[in-house]
Amino acid sequence: MRVGFFVTCLVDLMRPSVGFAALQLLEAAGADVVVPASQTCCGQPAYNAGDRADAIILARKFVGEFEGCDYIVAPSGSCSGMVRTHYAELFADDAAMLARVQALAARTYELTDFLVNVLKVKQVPGTFAGTVTYHDCCAGLREMGVKSQPRALLATMAGVKLAEMAECETCCGFGGTFSIKFGEISSRLADNKCQHVANSGAQTVVLGDLGCMLNIEGRMRRRGDTTTRVMHIAEVLAGPTADAPG
């Protein structure tokens, strides 16, 4: 099984450790992972900004890079959601391309969904001790149906106790460029999220998307909370990985 790993631009640039953790999970579950070297961005920033022409260029690039794979997996509900639920709309007027995109979209997965529903993972390599709370990232939840999968994987870890927070499905306020264009509103939404995390009593908030991670962690530190950890689900499940930089 050839699994194309789409690291996503944010993981690539900001948190390579998340990428290596995801790789470790896929490889530990027996997947033959390939990482196309020319990959960059799925095009979502352009798509959501209304820059359709550039979104199409980047979507074409992505399809070319990944369509040789049996599956495409990303450690992000947002980026995998872009491919699975939005690419087709970009090529509505291009029948040949549309067919290719639809075939690829059906094979594109968010990481935890892939681990649980395709690889049927029952145990994970990492160990973790502590109480965590899970933030459901919007695109993962509402585009990719990611809800039970990360929780099922966390439940396989003996040391993990899950304490659900209130409004775990409410947006953290990231929204891509929304977070900069409407920084004040975005910060308020992140602030609400931080409060719910704090009220849950968990020492760690776990989630599946880098955008939300940067937003929540950034607001949390600005609020003066320097102890609550914000971790990507891959990092929790994989534990510290040898390849990952600090």
Partner 1 sequence: MQVASMHFRERAHVKLNDAVLQGNLRKIKGKFVAKRLAAIGEIEDFEATREAGRAIRQRALDDLDVWLEMFERNAGARGATVLYAQTPAEINTLVLEIAARHEVRKIIKSKSMVSEESALDHAIEAAGLTVVETDLGEYILQLNDYEPPSHIVGPALHKSKEEVADLFHVKHGTPRKTGVEELCLEARGVLRQHYLTAGMGISGGNFFVAESGSVVLVTNEGNATLTTTLPRVHVAISGIEKIVPTLEDVATLMRLLPRSATGQSISNYVDVLTGPKGEGEFHGVDHMYFIIVDSGRSEILGSDVSEALRCIRCGACMNHCPVYQNIGGHAYGWVYPGPIGSILTPMYVGLENALDLPHASTLCNQCGVVCPVKIPLPDLQRKLREREFAEDLRPWHERTGIKLWAWLAARPGLYAYASRLGMRMLHRRADAHGMIRRLPFGGGWTDGRDMPAPSGRTFRDLYAQRQRNKGVINK
Min. distance of Cβ 46 from partner 1 in angstroms?
5
Q: Which is nearer to partner 1, 120 or 184 (CB)?
A: 184
Cα separation, 242 vs 126, in Å, equals 12
Q: Which is nearer to partner 1, 45 or 239 (CB)?
A: 45
Min. distance of Cβ 148 from partner 1 in angstroms?
17
Contact indicator for 154, 160 with CB cutoff of 8 Å: yes
Contact indicator for 230, 208 with CB cutoff of 8 Å: no
Q: Which is nearer to partner 1, 96 or 245 (CB)?
A: 245
Length of the chain: 246
Min. distance of Cβ 122 from partner 1 in angstroms?
27
Q: Which is nearer to partner 1, 28 or 244 (CB)?
A: 244
Q: Give the Å distances, CA to CA, from 180 to 167, 172, 173, 176, 184.
A: 23, 14, 10, 8, 8
* H helices present in 118-182, as ranges: 138-144, 148-155, 178-181
Min. distance of Cβ 178 from partner 1 in angstroms?
5
Cα separation, 175 vs 215, in Å, equals 10
Q: Which is nearer to partner 1, 15 or 107 (CB)?
A: 15
Min. distance of Cβ 150 from partner 1 in angstroms?
18
